[in-house]
Structure 1
Amino acid sequence: MVYPVFAATGAAAEMKWGTMGMQLFGGLALFLFGMEQMSESLKAVAGERMKLILAKLTTNRFMGATTGAFVTAIIQSSSVTTVLVVGFITAGLMSMSQSVGVIMGANIGTTITAQIVAFKVTKAALLMVGVGFSMLFISKQDKIKQYGTMLMGLGLVFFGMSVMSNAMQPLRTYQPFLDLMIQMENPLVGILVAAAFTGLIQSSSATTGIVIVMASQGFITLPAGIALAFGANVGTCITAMLASIGKPREAVRAAVVHVMFNIAGVLIWVLFIDHLANWVTALSPVHPELSGVDRLGAETPRQIANAHTIFNIANTFIFIGFTTQIARLVEWMIPDSTLEEEDLLVSAKYLDEELLTTPSLALGRVRLEVLHMGERVQEMLDSIMPAILTGNKESLSAVRDLDDQVDILYEQIIDYMGRISKRSLSDQQTEEFLKLMEAVSDLENIGDTIETNLVGLGFDRINAGFSISEPTREVLLGFHEVVTKAFKTAVQAVSQNSEEAAQIVTAMKEEITKMTDSAAAHQAERLVAEEPNRIPAYTIEVDIIEKQKRIYYFAKRMAKSVTALEAIEA
């Protein structure tokens, strides 16, 4: 099918295939690079705000779809929108049913790229590149630099389109290529070709943009363009499924929803391509002053963009009433894991590769992962005092084993933060990064203090063969309760970036000091009392208090990563 296009006989001999190929692939590279630059800068500028909007405005399925469309249109990435949704589900901030509406809306948001490309403002392309470059290299403000990168990326998109259009112009009179394009009239062929290409370049928006470029040269008719746009929607499912490999169940469920929605939508509309073509022809601008290929090239790009938008909006309206049923179906297809499986497969829940290109969102995920790691350390804290006071060697060993899970999460967070550090960070993001790095290290130090010091004291108590008196247990448990409260609040402060919670932790220093003095007075009384094993008992009990104070110290340092440095004592 492809061979006749590149055959060096007849008309082909007169065509400069090398020059054409160089211009075509060079233009394609500029087009894709420009889209990537525009998308990355949009995510950097608007990412954090879009996350807040997405978290707050998904109260029902219709609002969720609207919000998903708006957020995706702004940050130009349905993948990032889906990743954010998965994070909200995992954190319990959004139900699976709500997320289905957002994922549907994200498909609408992706059509904005086709609408932009269809404007064909190629004459202003180099002006956009020049102005964007000036903003990027002259300004010292991060936000203006990002806007400059965005404008330069948009200019490269249009310039790449212009280069590709000029490269393909000689093909207007090359019959073998025109015959190849006629085959795209077959919906099945068009869908398969576009799906394969989208899976290859990992961007349905880019595929649709290239289809519009080809349409601007009059190579494809509207029905063929619609079929190719459908194929782009199917091809993006490949991206969604690949991105979900090795991810938590919520991510896999979101990917399955995406795949089901896209494929079902294409199956519904594939028999009505001609009807859709008629509708968009009636709705789109016409150019009766032109004729033949010129008219086709003038009208078809906007018609394809409109068809793409109408198709995704219509599908959302068709399926929006079934979000609850779709959520239940996906949850049935991919059931929750058992607690045993979760313990065996401890892994980061919130860290996602897709968000590394948007440092503000990636740092937000680190905060959520601090909460996940904190839950494991909390489990150690809850278990350690009963194990020290009345437990056996097995219960102490179980606490020690929990630290292995904490260490795994610590390594994964540090690795993720290392990759964030390779990105271009603003001054504010750099400060946030350093504070989070310190907070994660403090959390790991608390786990090590429990595993190494407190577990060791428990073994010392067992090996010495004595029991801790009831009055002393009450003192130690009361102290432990306050330290545990400080730890929980510190984790909350970091994970939610809550200065109020952080101030609560630092304000507890006075209470900790009073309890330390009270415990010291109690231990002094024990020391002069006539009790067997009072010396080794006194030593272990004092050490338990000291290690608890050390845990509070690390909790206070975690809080310090949130509040203003001047507001906290060292």
Structure 2
Amino acid sequence: MQLGYALINLAGLAALLLWGVRMVRTGLQRAFGARLRLLMGRALCSRWRSFLAGILITALLQSSTATALMATSFVAKKVVGLVPALAVMLGANVGTTLIVQLFSFPVFAAAPAAIFSGLLLFRSRNTTAHDLGRVFIGLGLILLSLHQMVEFADTYAQSAGLRELLGTVSRQPLLEALCAAAFAWAAHSSAAAILLAASFAAKGVVSLPAAFALTLGANLGAAINPVFEGTTGRDPAFRRLPIGNLFNRLVGVLGGLLLLPEVTAWLEAWEPSPARAVADFHTFLNLSLALLFFPWLSGYGRLLAAWLPERKDKEDLRQPLYLDPAALGTPSVALGSAAREALRLVDLLKIVLEKFREIFLKGDRQNFSSVQRTADAMDKIHRAIRSYLSGLDRDLMNEAERVRLQDILFFSSSLEQAAGFAEKELQGLAAERIHKNLVFPAGEQVELSSIIERILSNLRMASSLFVTPDLETARTLALEKESFRSLEASASAAHFERMRASPGDHDPAGALYVKVVGQLKRINGQVVASAAYPILEREGELLPSRLRSVTDADSPAR
């Protein structure tokens, strides 16, 4: 029972530590995220500047994963080469040691002051001060959780069950390293795992060699996340940087485990404080790896390029191009990336409509496969946009950014639905036109081409409105929906008049034409709604229903 209670307490303190680390990272990303990306972009011109930029950015963000995703996005866009990006990651690994070094000193007494200062700043109306308030509160939570971990170690150091559990693990350095790697991977933070190990080592809950093994595993775990996140799965070449960094860490882990007895003896003589010894071991490990790999980065980069060659396949329409995972920590940049991706749906829907115009007017069945591929691409891109935006942290966003997020989701969803109508409904009607060899009269062909051109014009207006919201343009676009109702009514009335004039003629081509116009009206409705409706709704100019209000209607006679 005592062991279970101890583990629950430990889990709660670890969660508090992780939350503090997260608050510091998100606060700094909100305050300086765009500037940090700009700093990295400027620094990626030489190895040494890249190395120093990696140290600085990671020390500020307290996350080598965030730095890795930034660097990977630059490499993926071919803004920089692989070698400077590898130098960034060597610096990032060193940068993770600075926060561990800081918190290995007895600075716990600053926790209340940090939280109080953070609260005052958090209540400020100034955006930067508000974000820095999050940073100070996060620092206070980190200090508080570490202090409680020390108290926890004092309380439970003599627990027979806990000592037996940790003693069993301590006899297997590789098992310890794997456990710490799993923790750091799940937490997206090597610093949290290492600080936890340092706290236990300080009170003798784990031996110093065991704490060092945990530190080795935490370094490895933090390098796993970038391999599987973001754009790295799109092209083998995009995996070069995160896999190169993972191999760098793996070399450090294997070397550290082999030299663990010698390193332990040396650090015990160097630093009598176990907590400081863990921090120093973490620092020496990453400095040694930087010194080992730095002179060979060019050759290492060529080796990675040969192992993971760039894909030469023809560009896949279904593949998102602008969804940069490294930008998720900076909502304004991430929303811009998502909006740019959403505009690709405009171009793809244009292709679909133009293909259907050729099918209906010329009976070209070769376009069916192209329509299917393009519609599938729109569906996949729409799902990718939704998945990407779901990764945004709402705590990092202001109200305007939350509104923009909803606009992007609505815009992409509306266009994807328009493509769905075309794929499912128009394609069936086009197949019927070809199968029955129906030909529209010359007047209806001209009219049909004009209707599709009008939708394309509305699509261009919608994309412009999506980029630059304008109330008057939204009103103009919304009126197009009523115009298409009139077009459908006119086509239906003309068909009905032909039926009356020739009772024995069922006019299958005319009936098909009416159905086609009806589906084009539905597609146009989605195009209009995609960009105009959010603006009109915010301005209070969009009615919730076209039904007449009950309060305005005449009361029925009883």
Quick one: structure 1 residues 92 and 383, their matched pair in 2 at CA, closer, same or farther if it must change by over 3 Å?
A: farther
Give the Cα–Cα distance (whole angstroms) in 2 for the partners of residues 535 and 77 of structure 1: 65
Q: Distance in 2 between matches of 1:442 and 1:556?
A: 15
Q: Is the 8 A contact 1:443 1:558 kept in 2?
A: no
Per the alignment, residue 64 of structure 2 pairs with: 78
> % of aligned pairs identical?
24
Q: Residues of 1 paired with 2:421 and 2:39: CA distance? A: 40
- Provide the rounded CA distance (Å) in 2 between the counterparts of 1:64 and 1:85: 10
Give the C-alpha shift of residue 256 in structure 1: 2.2
Q: Is the 8 A contact 1:446 1:554 kept in 2?
A: no
Q: Does 1:312 align with 2:286?
A: yes
**How far is the alpha carbon of 1:443 from its aligned partner?**
6.0
User: CA–CA distance in 2 between the matches of 1:314 and 1:121?
Assistant: 28
Letter in 2 for 1:129: I
Q: Deviations over 1:513-560 (max 9, x none)?
A: xxxxxxxxxxxxxxxxxxxx7645543453454344223322322331
**Cα distance in 2 for residues equivalent to 1:421 and 1:188:** 35
Distance 1:385 1:331 in 2: 45
Pick aligned residue for 2:466 from 548, 551, 558: 558
Give the Å deviation of 1:114: 0.7
The offset of 1:428, in angstroms, is 3.9
Partner of residue 105, structure 2: 119
Whole-angstrom distance in 2 between the partners of 1:210 and 1:36: 16
Aligned to 2:401: 429
Q: 2:450 aligns with which of 528, 542, 553?
A: 542
Q: Which amino acid counterpart does residue 246 of structure 2 have in structure 1?
A: V
Partner in structure 2 of residue 506 of structure 1: none
1:198-224 Cα deviation digits (max 9, x unpaired): 345453111111122123335566555
Residue 55, structure 1, aligned to residue 41, structure 2: yes
Structure 1 counterpart SS, 2:366: helix
Contact persistence 2:70–2:326 (CA under 8 A): no
Matched, 1:393 2:365: yes
Where 1:30 maps in the other structure, the secondary structure is: helix
Aligned counterpart for 2:130 among listed residues 132, 145, 148: 145
Aligned residue for 2:252? 265
Counterpart among 14, 22, 44 of residue 36 in structure 1: 22
Superposition CA RMSD, Å = 4.6
Which of 276, 287, 293 is the equivalent residue of 1:302?
A: 276
- 8 Å CA contact 1:449–1:551 kept in 2: the answer is no
Report the 3-state secondary structure (helix = DSSP H, G, I; strand = E; otherwise coil) of the residue aligned with 1:114. helix
Q: In the aligned structure 2, how far is the partner of 1:442 from the partner of 1:52?
A: 34
Query: 2:140 maps to what in 1?
Result: 155
Distance in 1 (alpha carbons) for counterparts of 2:405 and 2:465: 15
Whether the aligned pair in 2 keeps the contact of 1:388 and 1:396 (CA below 8 Å) is no
Q: Which residue of 2 aligns with 1:203?
A: 189
Uncovered stretches (5+) of structure 1, i.e. residues with no partner: 1-5, 7-15, 287-295, 467-532
Alpha-carbon contact 2:73-2:324 (below 8 Å) kept: no
Alpha-carbon shift at residue 352 of structure 1 (Å): 7.2
Counting only pairs closer than 5 Å after superposition, residues 125-136 of structure 1 correspond to structure 2 as: 125-136=111-122
Distance 1:201 1:336 in 2: 31
Q: Deviations over 1:443-486 (max 9, x none)?
A: 658867987999999999986769xxxxxxxxxxxxxxxxxxxx
Match of 2:552 in 1: none
Deviation at 1:111, TM superposition (A): 1.9
Instruction: From the superposition, tell whether residues 96 and 375 of structure 1 become closer, same or farther in structure 2 (CA, over 3 Å).
Output: farther
Cα distance in 1 for residues equivalent to 2:77 and 2:349? 18
Question: Among 143, 150, 167, which residue is 2:152 paired with?
Answer: 167
Letter in 1 for 2:370: A
Question: Do the aligned residues in 2 keep the contact of 1:388 with 1:455 (CA within 8 Å)?
Answer: no
Question: Counterpart of 2:276 in structure 1: which amino acid?
Answer: R
Distance, in Å, in 1 between the alignment partners of 2:178 and 2:442 is 81
Alpha-carbon spacing, 1:546–1:244, altered in 2? closer, same or farther (3 Å):
closer
Distance in 2, Cα, partners of 1:402 & 1:306: 56
The answer to whether the Cα contact below 8 Å between 1:44 and 1:360 also exists between their aligned partners in 2 is: no
Distance 2:8 2:442 in 1: 87
Amino acid at match of 1:158: L
C-alpha distance in 2, partners of 1:77/1:455?
50
- In the aligned structure 2, how far is the partner of 1:341 from the partner of 1:29? 43
**In structure 2, distance between residues paired with 1:421 and 1:221:** 38
Q: Secondary structure, in 3 states, of the residue corresponding to 2:105?
A: coil
Matches within 5 A, 1:336-347: 339=313, 342=316, 346=318
**Amino acid of the structure 1 residue aligned with 2:94:** I
